Structure 1
Amino acid sequence: MSGRSPHEYVPAFNASLFLSANEVDVQSAIDANYPAGVVLPSKVYDDELDTELRVAFDFDGVIADDEAESVFKKNHNLEEFQAHETQKQSIPHQPGPLADLFKKLSFMQKLEEKKLNEDSDYKKILKIAIVTARNAPAHERVVTTLKSWGVSADESFFLGGMQKSRILTILKPHIFFDDQRSHLESPAGDIPMVHVPFGIANKHLINGQHKKQRSPL
């Protein structure tokens, strides 16, 4: 494509996400208020016998907004973060940049579940997973948020600080979305990963700095 910025065609295709390996194009899309992500280099092994499509998401700053992330970043205090999320466990988060994509995938998920109820031999294709560093009791607000949106994940992993790569290498998603580069620079190098440069976790990118400050989310 030449002559125009690729992200300008997002509304024409009714797309929920703009992906590119070009960080400048991704930032241009974000500046135009489109959900966007940077596709990171990876070595991909394509198993022709694998009929599933597995899509994995981080929660904070990806599916949901960065409210909780902002609380942690203020003082880098895990107890303060847990107290905040416990206090607000019955209040859904506001949607994050990939909420619309997640909702559309969840709609397809429900169609597959309906098909499975009609035909017990049907093999589901789509699997949606949430892989987040949250743990109890902060996981309750994730559940509240998904319920309020009428969506669900096939699998949810609340890791409490455990390396996400330990789950990803087993789950083997065909794509994984996270808002923090530090979570994407891992031993799981054969998994297609997308950096979603959204919210306070990526404030350093706006300032042209490249710090690796890992948060619990």
Structure 2
Amino acid sequence: MSKDTSILTTGAALPANQKYIPDQKKLVIAISSRALFNLDDSHRVFIEQGLEAYAQYQIEHEEEILPKGEAFPLVEKLLRLNDSLKDHAVEVILLSRNSADTGLRIFNSIQHYNLPIIRAAFCGGEDPYRYVTAFGCHLFLSTDPQDVRSALNEGVAAATLLAAKQPKAASNQLRFAFDGDAVLFSDESERIYKTKGLEAFAQNEREAAKLPLTGGPFKAFLAALHSIQSEFGLENAPIRTALVTARSAPSHERVIRTLRAWGIRIDESLFLGGMTKASFLKAYGADVFFDDQHIHCDAASEHVSTGHVPHGVANE
């Protein structure tokens, strides 16, 4: 392991009355080892033969480079942003249930692919999400739904990654797509829809059109992306964002006024009125799409990498 690498061994949760606010000048993404690399073979050993056999397998294969995982292209693009940023920086942190001993193969693979990842938490079987706030993370991506839920409870944007069934065409621009309610915004309006129906939802949105929605779990992450975008003109920004929502007129007005009140730029807004999102995400060319509902995530993953956000009334 290189001398530049540090392994976090201690950390503490925020006090209950303190809101977590990450640094806006540094975009920090936490990624699980199983999202960054394809660890299916070793994970199968763990499931079928147990922890001891898994540890021995990793040590015996630590010189074998791991295949790229679902999040690898996204991480590569994120880190490449540093080549053109002046006032901001992007950092990727590795969080893993491995011990430092069994995690050596992971760092060997990181070095093989020349990924500038120097910080990690190898948690020896314990939950790695505990360190997302200590590292100052804006986003946590994992393949473990429980870790994702726990990170969301810590106040950090988090999603369970689903693999895209079709490869995405290569592009230098990094494209994020977000659902609205329960992702960028709170689930306050979605709760009305779920409990009282479409008509009550529409009436509420008309009456509250000029009242900004409360921020959802991905508001701070979107704000960090917007902060990076502010270094560039509209025509040459390395990041592009899109809102892809089932909302339609007249409920669109409140969304537009909310983003305006936040002072956050969204490059594209798609109000689909209940139409399936998948084909629009393919046309947009999303690197990753975040949604709170499994049905939308499963459909979207036919075309693009998708992050399920287990937040809000749809996940209760």
Where does residue 148 of structure 2 map in the other structure?
Answer: 26
Structure 2 counterpart of 1:67:
188
Q: Tell whether the 8 Å contact from 2:162 to 2:301 is kept in structure 1 after alignment.
A: no
Q: What's the offset of the Cα at 1:190?
A: 3.0
1:5-24 to 2 correspondences below 5 Å: 5-24=127-146
Q: CA deviation at 1:34?
A: 3.4
How far residue 23 of structure 1 moved from its aligned partner, in angstroms, is 1.3
For residue 137 of structure 1, what is the aligned residue in structure 2?
A: 250
Specify which of 122, 126, 133 is matched with residue 239 of structure 2.
126
Q: How does 1:37-186 map to 2 (within 5 A)?
A: 37-43=159-165, 45-48=167-170, 50-75=171-196, 77-113=197-233, 123-186=236-299
Which deviates more, 89-98 or 11-20?
Answer: 11-20
Identify the residue that residue 209 of structure 1 maps to in structure 2.
Answer: none
What is the CA distance between 1:172 and its match in structure 2? 1.6
Distance 1:47 1:166 in 2: 15
Superposition deviation, residue 187 in structure 1: 6.1
Give the Cα–Cα distance (whole angstroms) in 2 for the partners of residues 22 and 43 of structure 1: 19
* Unaligned residue ranges in structure 1 (runs of 5+): 117-121, 204-217
Give the Å deviation of 1:179: 0.6
CA distance in 2, matches of 1:184, 1:101: 19
2:291 touches 2:309 (CA, 8 Å); kept in 1? Answer: yes
- 1:154-192 deviations in Å (ceiling 9; x for gaps): 100000011111211211200000011111111651310
Q: Number of matched residues?
A: 194
How far does the alpha carbon of each residue in 1:90-115 deviate from its partner, in whole angstroms, 9 at most, with x for none?
A: 000111000000111111122112xx
Runs of 4+ off more than 6 Å: none
Question: Which ranges of structure 2 fall in alignment gaps of 5 or more residues?
Answer: 1-121
CA contact (8 A) 1:169 1:188 kept: no
Which secondary structure state, in structure 2, belongs to the residue aligned with residue 185 of structure 1? helix
Instruction: Name the amino acid aligned to 1:182.
Output: I
Q: Deviations over 1:111-130 (max 9, x none)?
A: 112xx6xxxxx732111000
**TM-score, normalised with respect to structure 1:** 0.83
Query: Structure 1 pair 110/193, CA: closer, same or farther in 2 (3 Å)?
Result: same
Larger radius of gyration between Structure 1 and Structure 2: 2
Q: TM-score, normalised by structure 2?
A: 0.58
Secondary structure, aligned partner of 2:176: strand
- Give the CA deviation at 1:44: 5.3
CA offsets 1:131-156 (integer angstroms, 9 cap, x no match): 00001110000011101110121100
**Change in CA separation of 1:197 and 1:188 when aligned onto 2, cut-off 3 Å:** closer
